[in-house]
Chain A
Amino acid sequence: MFKIENLHAGVEGREILKGVNLEINAGEVHAIMGPNGSGKSTLGHIIAGREGYDVSQGAMEFKGKDLLDLGPEERAHLGIFLAFQYPVEIPGVNTTYFLKSAVNEVRKARGLPELDAVEFLKYIKEKAALLQLPGDFLKRALNVGFSGGEKKRNEIFQMAVLEPCFAVLDETDSGLDIDALKVVSNGVNQVKSPDRAQLVITHYQRLLDYIVPDFVHVLYDGRIIRSGGKELALELEERGYDWVIESASVEA
């Protein structure tokens, strides 16, 4: 469903991703771990179509379509979603109003009729209940004054509303308390289905107890230096990254 081949990308002459290969099939959950600054968020941004990165080599496709030439909104319409590591505060843009526009743009692109105000409200209230969002959430400006945890929850709420085929979750667990982690994981698992896939970026094995990955990859210095099953995350938790990095440099 989603495939990256030998992706090289950077900013202002500095290469951040140095040949990433990744293939994700429908129904799978992949996790990416790796030390700070290794390029995880950059990868997420490039998947979502953020401008400003030079992609010097490689290819990225989703359901057989070349993604690299598409704008972020076009990717969203195809069903790609990125939950941001740092969700952006947007003063003056009301959450409900924004979401209605997003949902209807996505529906339009998929040839579905737009939802009217009543249908839409009913729809998002169900989703909000699922994520146990505070009542005033929907009326407030997007992420403005939200706590770190609330912002993360809002990301997953939006994911639940938009029902993407392929979701990238960038450190959605950081900043969440234990109860919130369960609620959010539950939200993520609800979206799961045989025709959807997820890529979970995290530093902590704990999240992977709730969102169980089929594959775990280690991204280091712009490359995936090791891939394995979910037990790899446990091993990393126990032993840190050094042994992976060392054995990778021996191989190279």
Chain B
Amino acid sequence: MPEIDLDPRREIFDQLDQQKLGPLWLIPIRKAAVARFADAGFPTRRDEDWRFTDVSPIRDLTFKPVYEASGRELSGSIRERSLLGGVRTHRMVFVDGIYASELSDAPLIEDGVTVIDLKTGFESDALHLQEHMTRYSQSDQNAFTALNTAYFADGAVVKVERGVSCRTVLHLVFVTSGGENGVTVHPRNLVTVGDGASVTLVEEYIDAGGKAPCFTNSVIEFVVEEGAAVEHIKVQDESTRDFHVSGLYAQLKRSSRFRSHSLALGAKLSRHNIRTRLDGEGSQCVLNGLYLTRGEQLADHHMVVDHAKPHCESHEYFNGILDDQSRGIFHGRILVRQEAQKTDAKQTNKNLLLSDEATVNTKPQLEIYADDVKCTHGATIGQMDEEAIFYLRARGVPQGVARRMLMHAFAGEIIDRIECDPVREQLDRVVWDRLEDEGV
């Protein structure tokens, strides 16, 4: 039988030279990943996990993985473009997925905190990377994660040693240049936080105002050791021409605390896959997200919270405000394994529709194999509360401001859960400004 329709992505892979494949230990992992991708292909809507999100526009893009800095000048400074420009952070900037040292703060290797780019990490911390990289994402059948594993070229390595509280807000900024069609960016990040250590990390995705659509397909892996605490804030505000798929894998050890916030503002299509495993007794996980969509945008959050050990807590809170013909998707799967007694798992998804044409698909999925657990979930889809708007207007607040106050309050339920004060305050302003543009 003749070989038909060989995937061009595989073809590209087979031609990669040793240098692009990275260290030796990584090669078989990459090969397996590309084979897995070739096997599965892009998901279709027949696939239960992708029922509401059609990724064919991504499949149809030309596929150009980036391995080197293009040298293209970005218009405007990162500080201006970043939504957190005014916040004091330790910034590490990547342009089209490649580390841009000239735009970044100096690498950190001090006081038990390491923040370096992946290529440096392969040299200076090879064993650490070999131990952790790809380990937590490997069992996931997700084709996009496989694609990332096969093609990633750069990313950040963040390491906080045991007992260290990192006081600086670490900030990864991924900028797409939009200078060339089909640029495909595969950031790959690894964050390890030692026993009793703590850190706040912002992962931001923005564009530099270019015209060509770009596809970002990122993966971040977290290892949260015993008693460690992580606050992670992902902010995605790419251009509405761009496509964005991301995978977050978190491994939570005993008594650790993991909070991950997702703010999805941009991209034509975005999909955030969150996989957290509560793998030690007494660990806590909060997944907290807000999506604001308009026009033709689609924002999809898909999570699997895996309760593997007893006495763990997980909460998911996701709110969406949707205008025009935009779409929001929430899929929350909670898996409580037999051993995971006394699990406390809660999930809510609330949506505010500003237009008759906006749609939401929300799907809770509880799979419980332990008998002594507390699991609740709830979802709402509603419109603006006209009673409330009348009340505010009757006191002199103009209609536009009244609507904005209510939307802001709804968004605030999510934003207020960000514990890091400067980041929360700044993102609150960002959201307020976005709501201002909202058609009234």
Contacts and interface: CB of A to CB of B under 8 A. Distances in A.
B401 A72 contact: no
Contact of B405 (A51, A87, A93, A103): A93
Contacts of B386: 51-52
Interface in A153-169: 158, 162
Contacts of B412: 92
A167 to B, nearest CB: 11
Contacts of A138: none
B390 A72 contact: yes
Given A73-B393, A76-B393, 20 more contacts: A49-B394, A51-B386, A71-B399, A72-B393, A73-B397, A73-B398, A73-B402, A75-B394, A76-B394, A81-B395, A84-B394, A87-B391, A88-B385, A90-B392, A93-B409, A98-B395, A98-B397, A103-B396, A106-B396, A162-B395
Contact of B401 (A90, A101, A106): A101
Contacts of A93: 392, 405-406, 409
A49 B389 CA distance: 12
A82 B394 contact: yes
Nearest to A107: B396
Contacts of B391: 84, 87-88, 90
A102 interface: yes
Interface residue range, chain A: 20 to 34
Contacts of B390: 48, 50-51, 72, 88
Interface string A54-78: 0000000000000000011101110
Contact of B395 (A51, A52, A102): A102
13 contacts: A50-B394, A73-B397, A73-B399, A88-B390, A90-B385, A90-B406, A98-B405, A103-B396, A105-B398, A106-B396, A141-B409, A158-B395, A162-B396
B60 interface: no
Contacts of B136: none
A109 interface: yes
Contacts of A48: 390, 394
Interface in B113-153: none
Given A88-B387, A101-B401, A105-B398, A71 B393 contact: yes
A90 B394 CA distance: 14
B392 to A, nearest CB: 7
A141 B408 CA distance: 13
Dominant secondary structure of chain B at its interface with chain A: helix
Nearest to B395: A102
Tell which of A75, A82, A93 has the most Cβ of chain B within 10 Å: A93
Interface of B: 385-388, 390-399, 401-402, 405-406, 408-410, 412-413
Interface in A79-96: 81-82, 84, 87-88, 90-93
Contacts, number: 80
Given A88-B387, A90-B406, A101-B401, A77 B394 contact: no
Nearest to B400: A73
B409 A91 contact: yes
Interface of A: 48-52, 71-73, 75-77, 81-82, 84, 87-88, 90-93, 98-99, 101-103, 105-106, 109, 141, 158, 162
Contacts of A91: 409, 413
Tell which of B398, B402, B408 has the most Cβ of chain A within 10 Å: B398
Contacts of A102: 392, 395-397
Tell which of A77, A92, A106, A141 has the most Cβ of chain B within 10 Å: A92
A72 B395 CA distance: 8
Contacts of B387: 88
B29 to A, nearest CB: 46
A101 B396 CA distance: 8
Contact of A98 (B392, B399, B410, B413): B392
Contacts of B395: 76, 81, 98-99, 102, 158, 162
Contacts of A49: 393-394
Nearest to A45: B390
Nearest to A72: B393
A82 B399 CA distance: 17
Contacts of B401: 101, 105
A105 B396 CA distance: 6
Q: Which 4 A-B pairs have the closest CB atoms?
A: A92-B409, A76-B396, A72-B393, A88-B391
B388 A88 contact: yes
Contacts of B393: 49, 71-73, 76
Contacts of B392: 90, 93, 98, 102
Nearest to A88: B391
A241 B393 CA distance: 35
A58 B55 CA distance: 58
B394 A72 contact: yes
Contact of B396 (A51, A73, A92): A73
Contacts of B397: 73, 98, 101-102, 105
Nearest to A48: B394
Contacts of A87: 391
B408 A92 contact: yes
A77 B398 CA distance: 10
A92 B407 CA distance: 9
A43 B230 CA distance: 56
A162 B413 CA distance: 29
A77 B409 contact: no
Nearest to B387: A88
A248 B392 CA distance: 38
A98 B405 CA distance: 8
Given A73-B399, A90-B388, A92-B413, A101 B405 contact: yes
B348 to A, nearest CB: 14
A99 B397 CA distance: 9
A105 B392 CA distance: 11
Given A50-B390, A51-B390, A90 B396 contact: no
A72 B398 CA distance: 8
B372 to A, nearest CB: 32
